[in-house]
Amino acid sequence: MSPDPSTHALKREGRAPVVAVGRFSAKDFGSLWLAWSEAGLVEVSFAPFDWLDTVGVPSLAIPKVYAEPLKAYFNGEDAQLHTLPRDARGTPFQHQVWDELCRIPRGSVRSYSGVALDIGNPRATRAVGLANGRNPLPVVVPCHRVVAASHQLGGYTGGLDRKRALLELEGVHIEGDVVRPGQLTLFEG
CATH of the domain at 140: 1.10.10.10
pLDDT, residue 52, reads 52
**Are 65 and 127 found together in one domain?**
no
For the chain, how many structural domains are there in total?
2
Q: How far is CA 108 from CA 23, 47, 105, 171, 185, in A?
A: 28, 26, 6, 8, 7
Residue 50 CB contacts under 8 Å (≥ 6 apart), including other chains: none
Helix, strand, coil content of the chain in percent (nearest 5): 30, 15, 55
Q: How far is CA 187 from CA 85, 167, 180, in A?
A: 28, 15, 12
**Are 119 and 174 found together in one domain?**
yes
**Are 134 and 58 found together in one domain?**
no
For residue 69, what are the domain limits? 20-83
Domain presence at residue 2: no
**Are 27 and 74 found together in one domain?**
yes
- Give dist(CA 24, CA 31) in Å, integer: 6
Determine which one of 18, 70, 143, 146 is catalytic: 143
**Are 77 and 103 found together in one domain?**
no
**Are 169 and 103 found together in one domain?**
yes
Mean residue pLDDT across the chain: 84
Domain end position, chosen among 83, 100, 118: 83
pLDDT tens sequence across 62-74: 899 999 999 999 9
Domain presence at residue 188: no
**Are 56 and 99 found together in one domain?**
no
Is the pLDDT at 157 greater than 90, yes or no?
Answer: no
> CA angle at residue 107 from 106 to 111, to 5 degrees?
95
pLDDT, residue 184, reads 53
**Are 96 and 129 found together in one domain?**
yes
**Are 77 and 99 found together in one domain?**
no
**Are 78 and 108 found together in one domain?**
no
User: Where would I find the beta strands (DSSP E) of the chain?
Assistant: 20-26, 30-36, 41-45, 110-111, 146-147, 174-175, 178-179
Residue type at 183? Q
Domain end position, chosen among 65, 83, 101: 83
Domain presence at residue 28: yes
Domain presence at residue 103: yes
pLDDT tens sequence across 15-63: 556 678 888 998 888 889 898 888 999 999 887 765 555 454 334 788 9
8 against 32, higher pLDDT:
32
**Are 53 and 108 found together in one domain?**
no
Domain presence at residue 61: yes
pLDDT tens sequence across 75-99: 999 999 999 999 999 999 999 999 9
143 is catalytic: yes
Is the pLDDT at 4 greater than 50, yes or no?
Answer: no
Q: How far is CA 149 from CA 78, 86, 96, 113, 155, in A?
A: 26, 29, 20, 7, 13
H helix count then E strand count, the chain: 5, 7
Domain end position, chosen among 62, 83, 104: 83
- Give dist(CA 26, CA 6) in Å, integer: 14
- Give dist(CA 118, CA 186) in Å, integer: 11
Q: How far is CA 157 from CA 24, 60, 131, in A?
A: 18, 26, 12
**Are 136 and 79 found together in one domain?**
no
Domain presence at residue 8: no
Q: Residue 95, SS3?
A: helix
Q: Are 170 and 186 in contact (CB under 8 A)?
A: no
